[in-house]
Amino acid sequence: MGIIINKLGSCFAAEVLGIDLRKPLEEDTFKQIQDAFYEYSVLVFRDQDLNDEQQIAFSRRFGPLESSVKSNPYSGGGGQVIVLSNVNEKGEIIPPNSDQMIYLSGNMLWHSDSSFKRIPAKASILSGREVPPEGGETEYASTRAAYEALPDEKKAMLEDLIATHDYSYSRGQVAPHLITQALRDELPPVPQILVRTLPETGKKALFIGSHASHIVGWPIEKGRALLKELLEWSTQPQFVYTHTWRPKDLVMWDNRCCLHRGRPWDGRKYRRIMHRTTIAGDGPTVRP
């Protein structure tokens, strides 16, 4: 039986049924998934009871994986699997007001994973190992659809602008006391083109989000105002798909043309354990 692809959102996102990602994929099945990924930007796979090795093996089909940030004590420590969790090693719930949960709350700002790296991530794959029965959704915004809907004059104005993306800037908004010199040294600010062209489809997308600090060559506040305006534009309901997690969901998204953010849940009551793998980008968006 072949796979089934059902559209989920109004302008992007689809679910993929009839597949077991624990098993190696036939080349033609992989090709169908890859094509769907480029078309829909967000793919939801149901009932995928994967361990880390299986998740890594599936992720690697799309390209080499990123390593997590070494100086970030709360998610990965340089490994290929980032654990986003409110449960400690003893199986106890970590209080929502702890430094770890405050730090992770930065994921509740609209962002593109690793846009603060010189070579930003291509895709992320998130496995819902334990999900709360209510809340904790992930929202996705298509910056491709948002870009397409912009007036032509605006598109022309944005062309060739470069934004500075800076992890210390974005995390500094939620946890300034947790920004260390080691983190600043590992992740200096980087330039990213504001309008990306996706090589597989030739379509364009806004490359923005919480890590985008300002526009190169513009006064800081003027650049921030533009970035805020574009973020508000891109996250209007018609460009957003909200994913309500079921246990064992695996969601894959294109960081080049989507933003995402986590939504709150009752972290005193419910466990939430997510494992993420990240597919590295092909190269910098701005040539040195």
Residue closer to Fe ion, measured from CB, 15 or 113: 113
Question: Using alpha carbons only, what angle is made at residue 33 by residues 255 and 243, rounded to the nearest 5 degrees?
Answer: 55
Q: Which is nearer to Fe ion, 48 or 170 (CB)?
A: 170
Type of residue at 19: I
Residue matched to tokens 């490994």:
79
Nearest approach, Cβ of residue 106 and Fe ion (Å): 9
Nearer to Fe ion, 262 or 267 (CB): 262
Shortest Cβ 107–Fe ion spacing (Å): 5
Residue nearest to Fe ion (CB): 113
Which DSSP symbol is given to 231?
A: H
CA 15 to CA 143: how far, in whole Å?
A: 19
At its nearest, how many Å lie between Fe ion and the CB of residue 78? 18
How is the beta sheet containing 258-262 ordered, strand by strand? 240-243, 138-142, 258-262
Q: How far is the CB of 88 from Fe ion (least distance, A)?
A: 21
Q: For residues 25 and 117, which CB has a smaller minimum distance to Fe ion in the complex?
A: 117
Nearer to Fe ion, 164 or 278 (CB): 278
Report which of 227, 228, 234, 288 is spatially closest to residue 257, judged by C-alpha positions: 234
Identify which of residues 124 and 150 has a Cβ nearer to Fe ion in the complex. Answer: 124
Please, what is the minimum distance in Å from the beta carbon of residue 113 to Fe ion? 4
Residue 198, classed as helix, strand or coil, is: coil
Q: Are 111 and 235 in contact (CB under 8 A)?
A: no
Q: Are strands 42-45 and 14-17 parallel, antiparallel or unpaired?
A: parallel
Residue linked to tokens 């993420």: 276
**Least distance from Fe ion to the Cβ atom of residue 90, Å:** 26
Q: Quickly list DSSP for 110-174.
A: -B-TTTTSSS--SEEEEEEEE--SSS--EEEEEHHHHHHTS-HHHHHHHTT-EEEE-HHHHHHTT
CB 231 within 8 A of CB 208: yes
3-state secondary structure of 65: strand
Compare residues 117 and 158 and give the one whose CB is closer to Fe ion: 117
Smallest gap, in angstroms, from Cβ of residue 163 to Fe ion? 18
- Can you give the binding site for Fe ion, defined by CB under 5 A? 113
Q: Rank residues 115 and 213 by Cβ distance to Fe ion and give the closer one.
A: 115
For the bound state, the minimum distance from the C-beta of residue 186 to Fe ion, rounded and expressed in Å, comes to: 18
